[in-house]
Chain A
Amino acid sequence: MNITTDHLNEYAGDGLRTLLLAYKDLEESEYEAWSERLQRASKAVDCREERLAAVYEEIEQDMMLLGATAIEDKLQEGVPETIAILTLANIKIWVLTGDKQETAVNIGYSCKMLTDDMTEVFFVTGRTVHEVREELRKAREKMMDSTRTLGNGFPYQQEKLDPPKGSSVLEAIPGEYALVINGHSLAHALEADMELEFLETACACKAVICCRVTPLQKAQVVELVKKYKRAVTLAIGDGANDVSMIKTAHIGVGISGQEGIQAVLASDYTFSQFKSLQRLLLVHGRWSYLRMCKFLCYFFYKNFAFTMVHFWFGFFCGFSAQTVYDQYFITLYNIVYTSLPVLAMGIFDQDVPEQRSLEYPKLYEPGQLNLLFNKREFFICIAQGIYTSVVLFFVSYGVFADDVTQLADYQSFAVTVATSLVIVVSVQIALDTGYWTAINHFFIWGSVAMYFAIMFAMHSDGLFNIFPNQFTFVGNAQNTLAQPAVWFTILLSTVVCIVPVVTFRFLKLDLKPQLSDTVRYTQLVRKKQKPQGRRLRIVGRTGSRRTGYAFSHQEGFGELITSGKNMRLSSLALSSFTGRSSASWIDTLRKKRGTESPSAQQVSAGVSPQGAEASQVSGGVPLAALETGATGPAGGASAPGPASITEECAVKE
């Protein structure tokens, strides 16, 4: 026994989940009798838990010790760092887990979501609607109090705590708060009349941990945030119980690991390490946003430049909808002449290299605030397109109206404007592209070369001889582009279009540089030097000596499920629950290993996944659930502790 105890201590010291194995021989008749007593106890109307506990106590005596096992259930590597860096990127992280409160809090501390120097951690454990409301209100009051006492003399006469009005005040409170709410209270808090209150309180806290949460509640929390906060939500999880949450959130991330592939199948992105989340968001997400915005802006610009020329030409052709360009140019413009460069920009563009993106999480902000493509930027794009069309048309008009010998004809005008257009938009994409790979070079210069090649081919005699009615521009390219006046026109159009753009961008860089501009500049200036004084100090593995392990002492969702609150009550779930006559941890352990049921009922015992499941919500209020999985009985506890049973209930037979 001593040896076993020593072993156990050793394991626990290593932070492993210990399991003691013991056995006992039972006679058939003995078992029958006891089983009957168990049935009666579970059917009892009052003090059911005590009766059950007493019955269990009876049978779990005089067992023969077999030995001890230990299970590793670590948090993945890099989880605290990831959470820290995402918090710096203005992403709020909530944890939604099925674990017990102690386990969840433990996890919170070990991944640095909760810290020892937080002002206060609120525990909402009320059982009734009133209690929950009361607790939420008290939490809000405490937070508002701190604002008043710490505010610099701003008088807060009003005590109105209407959630919508109070929100902006609450969000700006000093001090760090955390909220821990368990599944039962959450069930009350998610009711229609209280959900806003809950959301406001939760959003005011730096960290929110929801424990004992059922899969449906996970989805409901994500839904709540989606509905009321205009934020983008991301849910990350690894088990089948996270599937509903992953599907509800805007972005679902599945961690492929021990728990099987249901989460992976339901998600938008999959990886195996939680820490990949920071790369997903801060590097790829940010680049993707940047590329998309640049692409969109350029696309609108080039099409407006292309099309608005016809608008101006209308004034001079009797509004007869005569096209300025050759019909084949119109067909090929968007497909051949201008599509590849912008595609290359949309694939390869990077404003800041990846190491810097991870170093400066603040770079993530423009995506959250919609800075790169909103109504204003759109109108600027359009305005630039219209200005380009004005320049293109009227410069050519000025030259042609004054007549230049053989050039007063329509087809020469078309060729001049078309060539100017292609060159202008190519120079513009060259300006827009911030990251010139070999492919970009090839596409941009290749597109211009392609334009000239195709134009000369189409204006050649060969094609005309075959289809006289189609290729009526025969001889144009050679004749028009041989005129120096045309080239001067093209040069003037290009420069007049591009120079204001360059001016604006230069002045903007000088007067109002964005963080990405500054980072880019320093990156290029100090390419070879090691960056000094990094902004983000990598969070070390020190800190409070909370374990990085997850474990629980009690049974699983039973109470919450049988309370009948917000469950997907499938008959399967009910039947399999009531069939569980023995709540001994050996049986549950065996059962968990045997069946992996994806329903709402999560069996409590069992192996917890090695990956950390978390659901996160980026933007305003993210949710994260670190699901350390089922609870395994800790070593030493001989029976499921009836800790939640109130004392006053006497055990009656």
Chain B
Amino acid sequence: MGKENPKVGKPDNTAFTQQRLPAWQPILSAGIVLPLFVVIGLTFIGIGIGLFITSRNVQEIELDYTGDQEGAPCAGCTNATTNCKCTLPFKIENKFEGPVFMYYGLTNYYQNYRKYGISRDDDQLYGNIDSLKSPANFCSPYQMGAKQMPIAPCGAIANSLFNDTFRLFYKVNKVYTEVLLDDNGISWWTDYNVKFRNPPEINGSLKNAFEGTVKPLNWPKPVYELSTNPNNNGFINQDFLVWMRIAALPNFRKLYRRISEGNWSRSLPAGNYSLEITYNYPVLSFQGKKKVVFSTVTWMGGKNNFLGIAYLVFGSLCIVMALIMLIVYAKYQVQIDRDM
């Protein structure tokens, strides 16, 4: 045979090149799988019980005020144009513990629709002057207003800002006390501080900063008049921020206010309440519904039975599967030929 130089052409003889790397080779043996399933099952049942109890402790009341049925409190407002006020009385049976959160909810409202979801200009909302004066094309048809003036804020999302307002009154012996609603910090900290910035003020006035732009088509007031509080005006208005964070599913709720002022922050007492609604937002054209929700909040968030039930169900399934596998293993396992 060849007496060639033995080094020529010979492949490396390392553990890597010769596929001799040390390795761990697990197998699915009964000793691992069955105890694992039992542990998972028990853990999940425990978690499920915890979550379910937590969720049950959340108190929540949901009030539909669409006014689509005859005789409903806000039925009269459905055809009115602007500033129609209607009153919705309701009763709370048990005291709501701790800070109560107030949400508005919409159904059949597809904020996750693609064309809607991309119709915004984050550059403009970041306070970029160039984008302020020339919004991105994504925003069309809400990009330019009358006389080719740029719209600020542009886009369909901004244009469809939810503009119903609420006032809550507690009724005691025919005396209505207003419950103070707090609108601080209802949006994400990063939204308020990082993502949305007003364009730099000109001569100390926000209105001048928006010189050369027009308000969105469906807004009653321009963006620099959203609130009298200068920390909540312009692009950084908290209600605006909450709305701009689009919802994932067609039926959603968004945080409106917190009841966390004075005595009300400890609990919302049981009794009769009256909600005064300024009905501006039309939803009947797409068979949508509007509602208001009052809810307490736990470490898990709001009321969420799904997780607790899912964990319980799956935990029990795991235990059942473990039992079945144990039976199968004990009885029907193919005997491994020990002489191999």
Contact = CB atoms under 8 A, between A and B. Distances in A.
Nearest to A74: B1
Interface centre among B40, B300, B340 (most CB of A within 10 A): B340
Interface in A531-565: 531-533, 535
A478 interface: yes
Contacts of A495: 40, 44, 314
A110 interface: no
A71 to B, nearest CB: 14
Contacts of B191: 475
Given A510-B329, A510-B333, A320 B314 contact: no
A510 B328 contact: yes
Contacts of A649: none
Contacts of B340: 518-519, 522, 531, 535
A438 interface: yes
A321 B114 contact: yes
Nearest to A489: B307
Contacts of A479: 188-190
Interface stretch (B172-180, B250-258, B276-284): B250-258
A412 B23 contact: no
Nearest to A347: B19
Interface string A151-165: 000000000000000
A397 B310 CA distance: 12
Contacts of A436: 23-26
- Chain A, interface size category, equals 35 or more
A532 B339 contact: yes
Contacts of B334: 510-513
Residue of B23, B44, B314, B332 with most partner-chain A CB within 10 A:
B23
Contact of A524 (B27, B253, B255, B325): B27
A518 B136 CA distance: 64
Contacts of A401: 249, 251, 306
A320 B325 contact: no
A500 B188 CA distance: 38
Nearest to B254: A408
A562 B232 CA distance: 103
A228 interface: no
Interface string A299-331: 000000000000000001110111000000000
B339 A524 contact: no
A348 B33 CA distance: 25
A256 to B, nearest CB: 8
Contacts of A524: 25, 27
Interface in B246-291: 246-255
Interface stretch (A167-175, A444-452, A461-469, A570-578): A461-469
Interface stretch (A122-130, A179-187, A501-509, A588-596): A501-509
A520 B113 contact: no
Interface string A358-389: 00000000000000000000000000000000
B27 A402 contact: no
B246 to A, nearest CB: 5
A399 B325 contact: no
Contacts of B332: 510-511
Contacts, number: 212
Given A408-B248, A469-B136, A510-B328, A484 B321 contact: no
A395 B246 contact: no
Q: Which of A410, A465, A512, A533: most chain B CB closer than 10 A?
A: A410
A513 B332 CA distance: 12
Interface in B100-157: 101, 110-117, 121-123, 125-126, 128, 136
B306 A399 contact: yes
A426 B125 CA distance: 37
Contact of A488 (B123, B302, B307, B321): B307
A317 to B, nearest CB: 4
Nearest to A407: B301
Interface in B290-324: 297, 299-307, 310-311, 314, 318, 321
B190 A474 contact: yes
B314 A506 contact: no
Contacts of A402: 302-306
Contacts of A519: 340
A346 to B, nearest CB: 13
Interface residues on B, range: 35 or more
Contact of A410 (B47, B190, B248): B248
Q: Which of A257, A405, A496 has the largest number of chain B CB atoms within 10 A?
A: A405
B214 interface: no
Contacts of A440: 23
Nearest to B293: A403
A519 B336 CA distance: 9
Nearest to B331: A510
A262 interface: no
B248 A409 contact: yes
Contacts of A287: 19
Contacts of B339: 532-533
B310 A395 contact: yes
Nearest to B297: A405
B68 to A, nearest CB: 21
A503 B314 contact: no
Contact of B122 (A468, A475, A506, A510): A468
Nearest to B9: A256
A256 B325 CA distance: 54
Nearest to A610: B1
A221 B175 CA distance: 105
B246 A410 contact: yes
Contacts of A502: 28, 33, 37
B195 A464 contact: yes
B22 interface: yes
A646 interface: no
Nearest to A353: B25
Contacts of B310: 395, 398, 492
A474 B123 contact: no
Nearest to A397: B249
B71 interface: no
Given A316-B249, A503-B325, A485 B300 contact: yes
Nearest to B298: A405
B302 A404 contact: yes
A522 B336 contact: yes
A439 interface: yes
Q: Which 5 A-B pairs have the closest CB atoms?
A: A475-B190, A404-B301, A413-B248, A320-B114, A322-B114
29 contacts: A320-B114, A354-B19, A395-B310, A399-B306, A403-B301, A406-B255, A407-B301, A408-B249, A409-B247, A411-B245, A414-B248, A435-B25, A436-B24, A437-B23, A439-B21, A468-B125, A474-B195, A485-B304, A489-B307, A495-B314, A502-B28, A503-B321, A506-B30, A510-B329, A511-B332, A520-B25, A524-B27, A533-B339, A610-B1
Interface of A: 256-258, 272, 287, 316-318, 320-322, 348, 350, 354, 395, 397-414, 434-440, 461, 464-465, 468-469, 472, 474-475, 478-479, 483-485, 488-489, 492, 495-496, 499, 502-503, 505-507, 509-513, 517-522, 524, 531-533, 535, 610
Given A488-B47, A510-B329, 6 more contacts: A258-B2, A401-B249, A468-B128, A484-B300, A496-B314, A509-B28
